């Protein structure tokens, strides 16, 4: 009975891990418009539309500040190129605030296309799943009551670690979606900074950060594929000559190490994108 409980708990946590990986894979290929039926996207659009009025006010303010700092007196505007430069900057900034959603959607679609290319070009799915080898199942079923006590501890720790890592992976991917919605909702405010030469750095930083969040999807997909290839090429070894406790501890320890690699890569996807693209 005890051995069966240990086996069932380990099988459950491996299934839980595999299910969360499959959920992550599905989430990465989902657009913000499709996520959770599109209700959150609709809310983000409504907030974006409501903030446009504030964005236009900031746009005029940043433009006026830029003009005051760039020109000592209005004689500079007698030169056509000077006035044209300010006019073009103002028009482009107003266009960015007005059509910011279209701009951000285009950026997301480009980054999403890169992610889809990685998915389709490298197999399109995670081919290797975590499982409990038959040798360990047989060994656990053959232990007595006293021998099963250390196995309880091994299965409990393994289940705890794997469950926590599964939630970390899932929270990271969900966090990316929420950041996309926050960027979309608040876009008119940082985009308005393009109206001023001295404030345009805020707008550039916003665009770079948004591109980084979009590109995190491609990095997460690569991390999952690398983990799958790593697990299939260097699967934890099972030495059937060892005692059941040692065999289970060795296998679960090696498997947790492999899972930690994936968790670290996914958790650090934002840092990888910044280092790779210089964002």
pLDDT in single tens digits along all 279 residues of the chain: 444 777 888 888 888 888 888 888 888 878 888 888 888 888 988 998 988 889 888 888 887 777 776 665 555 555 666 667 777 878 888 888 888 888 888 888 888 888 888 777 555 555 556 777 777 777 777 666 666 677 788 788 888 988 999 899 889 888 888 899 999 899 998 888 888 877 888 888 899 899 988 888 888 888 888 777 777 766 666 666 667 777 777 778 888 888 888 888 888 888 888 887 776
Helical spans, DSSP H, in the chain = 2-28, 39-70, 80-98, 100-121, 134-141, 145-186, 188-191, 200-233, 244-267, 269-277
What pLDDT, on the 0 to 100 scale, is given for residue 272?
Answer: 82
Residue carrying the six token digits 């900031």: 58
What pLDDT, on the 0 to 100 scale, is given for residue 3?
Answer: 45
| Whole-Å CA distances, 93 to 52, 64, 87, 90, 107 | 12, 13, 10, 5, 17
Burial class (CB in 10 A: 0-12, 13-18, 19+), 47: middle
Buried b (16+ CB within 10 A) or exposed e, 55-86: bbebbeebbeebbeeeeeeeeeeeeeeeeeeb
| Whole-Å CA distances, 244 to 160, 222, 240 | 20, 35, 8
Provide the token pair at 116.
């889809």
- Kindly calculate the radius of gyration of the chain based on its CA atoms and give it in whole angstroms: 27
What pLDDT, on the 0 to 100 scale, is given for residue 2?
Answer: 45
The closest alpha carbon to 278, from 178, 208, 175, belongs to 208
What's the rounded Cα separation, in Å, for the pair 273 and 209?
A: 10
What pLDDT, on the 0 to 100 scale, is given for residue 128?
Answer: 59
Task: Name 224's Cβ contacts closer than 8 Å, sequence gap at least 6.
Answer: 21, 24, 25, 126, 262, 266
Question: In angstroms, how far is CA 140 from the centroid of its own chain?
Answer: 38
248 and 133 in contact (C-beta within 8 Å)? no
């Amino acid at each position: 009975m005890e051995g069966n409980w240990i086996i069932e708990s380990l099988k459950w946590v491996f299934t839980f891990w595999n299910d969360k990986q499959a959920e992550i894979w599905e989430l990465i290929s989902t657009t913000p418009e499709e996520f959770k039926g599109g209700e959150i996207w609709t809310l983000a659009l409504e907030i974006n539309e409501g903030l446009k009025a504030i964005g236009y006010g900031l746009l005029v303010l940043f433009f006026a500040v830029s003009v005051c700092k760039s020109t000592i007196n209005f004689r500079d505007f007698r030169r056509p190129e000077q006035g044209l430069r300010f006019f073009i900057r103002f028009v482009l900034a107003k266009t960015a605030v007005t059509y910011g959603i279209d701009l951000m959607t285009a950026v997301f679609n480009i980054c999403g296309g890169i992610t889809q290319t990685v998915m389709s070009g490298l197999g399109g799915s995670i081919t290797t799943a975590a499982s409990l080898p038959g040798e360990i199942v047989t060994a656990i079923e053959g232990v007595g009551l006293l021998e099963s006590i250390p196995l309880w501890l091994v299965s409990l720790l393994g289940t705890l670690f794997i469950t926590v890592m599964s939630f970390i992976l899932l929270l990271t991917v969900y966090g990316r979606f929420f950041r996309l919605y926050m960027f979309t909702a608040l876009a008119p405010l940082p985009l308005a900074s393009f109206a001023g030469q001295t404030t345009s750095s805020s707008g550039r930083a916003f665009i770079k950060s948004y591109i980084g969040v979009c590109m995190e999807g491609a990095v997460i997909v690569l991390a999952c594929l690398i983990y799958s290839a790593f697990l299939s090429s260097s699967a934890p070894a099972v030495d059937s000559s060892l005692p059941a406790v040692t065999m289970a501890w060795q296998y679960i320890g090696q498997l947790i190490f492999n899972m930690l690699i994936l968790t670290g890569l996914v958790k650090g996807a934002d840092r990888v994108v910044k280092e790779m693209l210089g964002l």
